[in-house]
Amino acid sequence: MKIDKQQISDLNKSVETKHLIQLDFIANQLQHKGIDGQHIIKKLKDFQVAIPSWALGAGGTRFGRFSFGGEPSTLEQKLDDIGILHTLTNAAGAVSLHIPWDIPQNYQAIKDKAAQHNIVFDAVNSNTFQDQSNAKESYKFGSLCNSNKAVREQAIQHNIDVINIGEKLGSKSLTVWLADGSSFPGQLNFQETLKNTQDSLKTVYKSLPKDWKLFIEYKPYEPNFYSTVIQDWGTSYMLANECGERAYTLVDLGHHLPNTNIEQIVATLLYKGKLGGFHFNDSKYGDDDLTVGSIKPYALFLIFNELVYGIENNPKNPDLAWMIDASHNIKDPLEDLIQSLEAIMIAYAQALLVDQKQLKEAQEAQDIVACQEILQEAYRTDVRPLVRESRVQMNAAIDPLAIYRSLEIRKTLIKERGKNSTASGL
Amino acid sequence: MKIDKQQISDLNKSVETKHLIQLDFIANQLQHKGIDGQHIIKKLKDFQVAIPSWALGAGGTRFGRFSFGGEPSTLEQKLDDIGILHTLTNAAGAVSLHIPWDIPQNYQAIKDKAAQHNIVFDAVNSNTFQDQSNAKESYKFGSLCNSNKAVREQAIQHNIDVINIGEKLGSKSLTVWLADGSSFPGQLNFQETLKNTQDSLKTVYKSLPKDWKLFIEYKPYEPNFYSTVIQDWGTSYMLANECGERAYTLVDLGHHLPNTNIEQIVATLLYKGKLGGFHFNDSKYGDDDLTVGSIKPYALFLIFNELVYGIENNPKNPDLAWMIDASHNIKDPLEDLIQSLEAIMIAYAQALLVDQKQLKEAQEAQDIVACQEILQEAYRTDVRPLVRESRVQMNAAIDPLAIYRSLEIRKTLIKERGKNSTASGL
Amino acid sequence: MKIDKQQISDLNKSVETKHLIQLDFIANQLQHKGIDGQHIIKKLKDFQVAIPSWALGAGGTRFGRFSFGGEPSTLEQKLDDIGILHTLTNAAGAVSLHIPWDIPQNYQAIKDKAAQHNIVFDAVNSNTFQDQSNAKESYKFGSLCNSNKAVREQAIQHNIDVINIGEKLGSKSLTVWLADGSSFPGQLNFQETLKNTQDSLKTVYKSLPKDWKLFIEYKPYEPNFYSTVIQDWGTSYMLANECGERAYTLVDLGHHLPNTNIEQIVATLLYKGKLGGFHFNDSKYGDDDLTVGSIKPYALFLIFNELVYGIENNPKNPDLAWMIDASHNIKDPLEDLIQSLEAIMIAYAQALLVDQKQLKEAQEAQDIVACQEILQEAYRTDVRPLVRESRVQMNAAIDPLAIYRSLEIRKTLIKERGKNSTASGL
Amino acid sequence: MKIDKQQISDLNKSVETKHLIQLDFIANQLQHKGIDGQHIIKKLKDFQVAIPSWALGAGGTRFGRFSFGGEPSTLEQKLDDIGILHTLTNAAGAVSLHIPWDIPQNYQAIKDKAAQHNIVFDAVNSNTFQDQSNAKESYKFGSLCNSNKAVREQAIQHNIDVINIGEKLGSKSLTVWLADGSSFPGQLNFQETLKNTQDSLKTVYKSLPKDWKLFIEYKPYEPNFYSTVIQDWGTSYMLANECGERAYTLVDLGHHLPNTNIEQIVATLLYKGKLGGFHFNDSKYGDDDLTVGSIKPYALFLIFNELVYGIENNPKNPDLAWMIDASHNIKDPLEDLIQSLEAIMIAYAQALLVDQKQLKEAQEAQDIVACQEILQEAYRTDVRPLVRESRVQMNAAIDPLAIYRSLEIRKTLIKERGKNSTASGL
């Protein structure tokens, strides 16, 4: 299934007048503050977030999974789903593949399909946290960190295979997330485990094409419940430095201990030119993988405030790889992603409204009350008309969720793919 | 497979002398403090912990599962596994069934099998967190709490069915753990949801045979990640009071927010006569379901200290239903359970050593330093010889883990059941 | 010092046009949704939050305190400060006294002063967490919970004294916050401590005038670091039930373990008719006592959503006592309070915008995506013009902070009171 | 006051027989495992922990302080208190001064006094978290990080002054703990703040004598409640690398977010040769500064297990500076320190018992159950006789707490110094 741009234009009509009144109001308000609304809108139009191929199906917990009808069961269908998202939102112009779940049968066909949808191939993801049925070695006790050399070699080779697949599709980066760790004190020797991981990552890094980047993810716990080899940004940063210039830390919002100040980590990595990628989601307890902005939208804004500042002021840091990494346990995945994209755009727009000059002055004057006012002035502004306009200008939907529903897309997908289709993966 | 008591006696021989020297030493030490070692040993011999039927297979996380050879695939085989545990440890003389995973085909055969192993049927557990293939209604949005009456009725009926099954086997209590809750703000109306849950529980309570008890479990999060209907002991206690005299709160060690003082909750419930059951496990981050005593053995001791005090001083509180509720992701489940039982016995023995009279005096004198010394004196004592002797006197193993390994039990189970047998359940 | 309403009107003039344009826009927007803006504004005008007498001076941490000039050193001066706040914001029409820090010398003079400022006397607070220089007994090891009867009696008597003082001023409720607890395992007997606390609270309750209410606060830790007697809402609720009908639980936002779902607690207490009072502040780590809305404004909105629902639907629950309980370590306390009041009003206004009918329908249809949209539609709306208008209609400031600064109030206070004046209290 | 070694010998007599029986038992038990008890005892005798000068008085919280009689009010008296501790325990042979609280009036006299007590001068601590009465600039908004250059310069100069004082006494290291951070989003620019801190630390580092080390402490929050400049080990490690070879990270047990795996951090730093110092205490919620081993003794053991391993295997890492950093809010500080020293020695002894060879084999065999057994075998052993013997061999007390009490030391101190003497400091 594919949505027609004309359909969207037609459906936009019914809310166009309302939209223009709201846009006019905010544009005037911003003008009074000396802010050019079109400039913000331009930035919003350019912002693209990758959708991981595994996010199109229903997620689950260890207590089970409630399946969802019409899930994409092939890579082609996954690309179609992202195509729908991108047509509606103009914000999902990239896909992030997970290997071995998404190994293309026919590379040219896949590339054509993606091109049709205006989708590019962002970072490829390796998987060494599960055993494949044909695998010789098991990752039960770790992969790149494993004390058993044969396991490490298998995991290294897998990463090299993933790079090769990515190269054929046009990806330029590899994301490594390791579940490696331990569930019991004493289970592994921390120092040797770290050394093994370091050596393995260096070997993978050496296999990278010259124009590729390596993203090293960190996470404090789960699926291991005592220790994780790359437990925090400090470990990831240290390993990235060991690997070399094109190795970077990747921040996933849900991968932190309770109460962590994530925006400070983001700022530190940008300062050091070592922030490579960013995974969006939201959470209340742990790595809950909820819809972006559904729990802590102000924290998301504060993080975007650092990202906007860093993009402006840290030329050494590369362009970031943005991705949504959420688990759609009880919502229609496409609706969940539409809500996530909206929350990202809103936070980004709010951050773009922060008066950096005024903020710097207030910081230098150590006028804390004013600093807070400046941030909250931006955050409390209703920027949704700007976000909507950024879509209108690209022929996307003023209200993507409403159009998704009025077009009965899920119903069509179920008709096409069946009630019990299952996304490849977990 | 079944272990012969004679085999155990034979294998005990090799470590008997060593054991007796250690026992002699600790008995003398205790005698000097006016403590009768045999009295402690007697209590240890009587302490029995139920094994849940789902704990005999490998657990998993949402990222996958590493299977284990020789898993029991029928209820009979599960009972055999518990029989092995009980023969080795003399501490696992009960089973806790999970319905619908463990519905007996032939009740008499199951009862005979259990009797053979000296196993009784402890609390039965209902399951309304998963959809069964033949179910009419889905629990995706809750069960006893559901805003849809038909779902609530199905869930109530399931609980009544579970009671009926339990009755035929000799169980005397029903444990209700609800995954009910929400993953997003606004998803449900807290007040109506609580009211529905209360009404449903009351209906289940009314269906209980007169000599049965109802245990209401609580948990702050997972599998729902924004709210859980019975989020804490306060909610469970409130609901138990609404239900009636034979409704109680059940405490699972892993079901608390970070840093919760669990021993105080235990003391409060005992004081009110409302502590019904107890699920053992250990954790560092969330409901990690690790081997008991593997992470925070001192916290376990402090909890046992309250339990021992309450058992002595709160006659109104019923005898507690003890159960191990852990998930064996990377250890052989039987070895994991042996380690858990050992940790429980050690903590219990240490708690029995606390000089309650001295402690009370120090508390009344507000001599905090002395209070700590008294607790730590008990905790720092090496009580393992007492625990071992409690087994010796019951013809069980001095060192259950060593004997389990020397008898190559897992190897035999794999031979009997195959490498890929899977425990019924998740 | 006292601000003239005329001064405010004059200063409002310069931003009046801007305000009216914004107000007009939002009013129109709401009208399209069938919401009467004036109705919201009316509710905002009526909402009054008590200022605790201790919040007018600089707070501190255990690592020290940075003093602030012009702090009020008498109760009269504290009332003057609240008068300034109330004149500016029309939202601070009540004071909450702390005894013994605020014992009036001359009751009539104090009542007159308060009346001048249109300030009423809200709940009075007792203090049994510090030793007074003339005290016979020490609270080092607890007050109402103390195993020493003489200490308990002193603490009970103090609470009765506080009631008597409150009665003379027109207060109608007593707030009891207990620091009571322990810093080391074994230090106290949980059951006896709870019993002592229960008995002491009952005695205090019996001394309440018939038209008074008792508010029982809870807190998990600090200043005790192992256990706190009233550690959670469950314990407070249990104790309130033991005391009687006019005893209620008081929720302080900062008094929870990490990740607690506070809005659910609020809903549960409202459902049971047992929510008495509410202390506002914000926090990232523990009881940080930061400016309201400075860290988690969405959580504040979600809580207000439950409060608005409960006020509408739980007639059994009494009117709530609202108070700001923050510690102004590095901001000018009056500026901090102005920011807090603004954040409260914004969250309240957003909650009033939630379409409860639509929400209920979405909940019943189990349309989670729609539920979230409905809440976020209200939250993302820029309600500040409504809040400003609620002030304009009461001759208060459109922008209280700007006027506070343009009138150079702090400068005047320093001139009047000196650079080194210190608020009575800690 | 000073204790006589002879007094101790005499008091030891009454428990000597009991001690020898226990020692004999454990020595035999160890011998059977091929462990030489005397070797362990030798290591215990050599282990010395510094006492910070501020730990001899009562601590407090922001809610107040309960004073303790006989507190040392001069540096001489503080050294006397440490002398008492060291005589009793043979484990407190060092002092860590805090400037400006402990600036010697007469250096020679102070050095003589310390020599008399066999106390050496360990790391000196600077204080830039409080304003001194005569200070020109305020640290209210930070010190080494401050956006105001004059403040940074004052803070740098203070650190240089501290080094100079330390040099005169024989210290060889400077510990920098920064309270620097922010309490509100937007208050400071993370990147500039980090840069300022880095530059300031480098300047301090350059002022270090060639045989000195710099220890950089980290802490996630308190006294700032939104961000802390050096929030975690990663930031500290990064800054230490920027400074140079003799700059190291210092780990304080209480300075971590909930659930942090501290032992892994310790291992990582040892692996990198960058662990410089260690502050002992215990906690349940935050930086509670409780008696060592009073809350999580197993975690302490696991940390010591890494330390013992690192000391053996990481020759590149320097000898560590050990210190107790606790706050004695409700216990007699000297009794609290005696309990802390005992807990440290016990954990150290247990860690020394771990069979590293067996552990490595089990790790390589990925026999998790065995790994846990090996650690718990060491931990469950009652090592107290070894700890006691390590004291006996140095003419210190078998039971330091009992002797402290029987000599009525606190009573004597109160007689000598008065009931209301106050330790210099906070």
Please identify which residue in the block is written with the tokens 């650092």: A306
Residue D32 pLDDT > 90:
yes
Q: What is the pLDDT of residue D419?
A: 86
Cβ neighbourhood burial of A25 (10 Å; 0-12, 13-18, 19+): buried
Share of chain D above pLDDT 70, in %: 99
Q: Are D96 and D123 in contact (CB under 8 A)?
A: yes
Distance from C-alpha of B36 to C-alpha of B40, rounded to nearest angstrom: 7
Q: What residues contact C53, with CB distance under 8 A and at least 6 apart?
A: C75, C78, C95, C96, C97, C98, C101, C102, C425
Work out how many domains chain A is built from and give that number: 1
Residue B43 pLDDT > 90:
yes
Angle between helices C75-89 and C409-417 (to 10 degrees): 170
The CATH number given to whatever domain includes residue D128 is 3.20.20.150
DSSP class of residue D33 equals T
C19-58: b or e for each residue (b if 16 or more CB lie within 10 Å)? Answer: beebbebbbebbeeeebebeebbebbbebbbbbbbbbbbb
**Number of H-type helices and E-type strands within chain C:** 15, 11
D127-140: per-residue pLDDT in tens?
Answer: 999 999 889 999 99
> Per-residue confidence at C389, pLDDT binned at 50, 70, 90?
very high
Q: What is the pLDDT of residue B210?
A: 98
Question: Mean pLDDT throughout C275-301?
Answer: 98
Q: What is the pLDDT of residue C68?
A: 85
Which residue in the set D60, D131, D226 is minimally distant from C66, CB to CB?
D131
A188-222: per-residue pLDDT in tens?
Answer: 999 999 999 999 999 999 999 999 999 999 999 99
Q: Nearest-CA neighbor of C31 among C403, C386, C270, C396?
A: C386
User: Is residue C234 in a domain?
Assistant: yes
Question: Mean pLDDT throughout D71-98?
Answer: 97
Q: What is the pLDDT of residue B4?
A: 87
Optimal mutation site among C148, C224, C257, C305, interface B, most CBs of chain B within 10 A: C257
Question: Mean pLDDT throughout B109-129?
Answer: 97
Question: Mean pLDDT throughout D13-33?
Answer: 97
Q: What is the pLDDT of residue A425?
A: 61
| Structural Rg of chain C based on CA atoms | 22
Q: Is there a contact between D296 and B298 if contact means CB atoms under 8 Å apart? A: yes
Residue A241 pLDDT > 90:
yes
ipTM: 0.97
A367 to each of A309, A364, C419, D187, D198, how far by Cα in Å? 20, 8, 19, 8, 23
B250-308: per-residue pLDDT in tens?
Answer: 999 999 999 999 999 999 999 999 999 999 999 999 999 999 999 999 999 999 999 99
User: Is residue D221 in a domain?
Assistant: yes
- Mean pLDDT of all residues belonging to chain C: 96
C250-269: per-residue pLDDT in tens?
Answer: 999 999 999 999 999 999 99
Residue C153 pLDDT > 80:
yes
D37-52: per-residue pLDDT in tens?
Answer: 999 999 999 999 999 9
Residues of A in Cβ contact (< 8 Å) with D313 = 191
Q: Per CB distance under 8 Å, which residues of B are interface residues toward A?
A: 59-64, 66, 129-131, 138, 140-141, 179, 183-185, 220-223, 225-226, 258, 283-286, 288, 290-291, 294-295, 327, 329-331, 426
> Per-residue confidence at B68, pLDDT binned at 50, 70, 90?
confident
Q: What is the pLDDT of residue D315?
A: 96
Q: What is the pLDDT of residue D219?
A: 98
State whether residue A324 is helix, strand or coil.
Answer: strand
Which residue in the set C220, C258, C288 is minimally distant from D225, CB to CB?
C288
User: Is residue D423 in a domain?
Assistant: no
Q: What is the pLDDT of residue B426?
A: 56
Q: Is there a contact between B295 and D291 if contact means CB atoms under 8 Å apart? A: no
State whether residue C249 is helix, strand or coil.
Answer: strand
> Per-residue confidence at A419, pLDDT binned at 50, 70, 90?
confident
Question: Mean pLDDT throughout B68-88?
Answer: 95
Q: Is there a contact between A62 and B64 if contact means CB atoms under 8 Å apart? A: no
Cβ neighbourhood burial of B136 (10 Å; 0-12, 13-18, 19+): exposed
Q: What is the pLDDT of residue B84?
A: 97
| Structural Rg of chain A based on CA atoms | 22
Q: Which two tokens stand for residue C186?
A: 């074994």
Give the pairing type, strands D124-125 and B275-280. Answer: unpaired
Residue A198 phi/psi, 5-degree rounding, is -60, -50
Residue D425 pLDDT > 70:
no
Length of chain D: 426
Give the largest Cα separation in chain B, rounded: 66
Residue D424 pLDDT > 90:
no
Q: What is the pLDDT of residue C425?
A: 61
Q: What is the pLDDT of residue D276?
A: 98
Q: Encode D286-339 in three state secondary structure.
A: CCCCECCCCCCHHHHHHHHHHHHHHHHHCCCCCCCEEEECCCECCCCHHHHHHH
Q: Are D40 and D353 in contact (CB under 8 A)?
A: yes
Q: Which residues pair with D251 in a beta bridge?
A: D278
Residue B370 pLDDT > 70:
yes
User: Is residue A220 in a domain?
Assistant: yes
Q: What is the pLDDT of residue A1?
A: 76
State whether residue C98 is helix, strand or coil.
Answer: strand
User: Is residue B292 in a domain?
Assistant: yes
**Number of H-type helices and E-type strands within chain A:** 15, 11
Share of chain D above pLDDT 90, in %: 96
Question: Mean pLDDT throughout A180-192?
Answer: 98
Question: Mean pLDDT throughout D161-173?
Answer: 98
Distance from C-alpha of B142 to C-alpha of A288, rounded to nearest angstrom: 18
Residue C233 pLDDT > 90:
yes
User: Is residue B188 in a domain?
Assistant: yes
- Report the 10 Å Cβ neighbour count for A394: 17
Residue C426 pLDDT > 70:
no
Q: Which two tokens stand for residue C94?
A: 């009540």
User: Is residue B350 in a domain?
Assistant: yes
Beta strands in D14-139 (DSSP E): 50-52, 94-96, 120-121, 124-125
Which residues span the domain enclosing C90? 5-417
Report DSSP letters for C34-71, one per residue: T--HHHHHHHHHH---EEEGGGGSB--BTTB----TT-
Which residue in the set D62, D258, D290 is minimally distant from C183, CB to CB?
D290
User: Is residue D422 in a domain?
Assistant: no
DSSP class of residue D282 equals B
Residue A426 pLDDT > 80:
no
Share of chain C above pLDDT 70, in %: 99
Residues of C in Cβ contact (< 8 Å) with D256 = none
Distance from C-alpha of C128 to C-alpha of C138, rounded to nearest angstrom: 9
Residue C1 pLDDT > 80:
no
* Amino acid in position A289: D
Q: How far is B308 from chain C (nearest CA, A)?
A: 13
C197-216: per-residue pLDDT in tens?
Answer: 999 999 999 999 999 999 99
> Per-residue confidence at C424, pLDDT binned at 50, 70, 90?
low
Q: Are A333 and A55 in contact (CB under 8 A)?
A: yes
Q: Is the dihedral of CA C182, C184, C187, C193 positive or negative?
A: positive
Cβ neighbourhood burial of C118 (10 Å; 0-12, 13-18, 19+): middle
Q: How far is D225 from chain C (nearest CA, A)?
A: 6
Q: Nearest-CA neighbor of D179 among A258, C255, C337, C330?
A: C330
> Per-residue confidence at D2, pLDDT binned at 50, 70, 90?
confident
Q: Do you find a cis peptide bond into D297, omega within 30 degrees of 0? A: no
Residue A146 phi/psi, 5-degree rounding, is -55, 140
Residues of D in Cβ contact (< 8 Å) with A364 = 147
Optimal mutation site among C61, C146, C182, C225, interface D, most CBs of chain D within 10 A: C225
Q: What is the pLDDT of residue D189?
A: 98
Distance from C-alpha of C259 to C-alpha of C267, rounded to nearest angstrom: 17
The residue in chain A having the minimum alpha-carbon distance to the alpha carbon of residue C257 is A258
Q: Which residues pair with C52 in a beta bridge?
A: C96
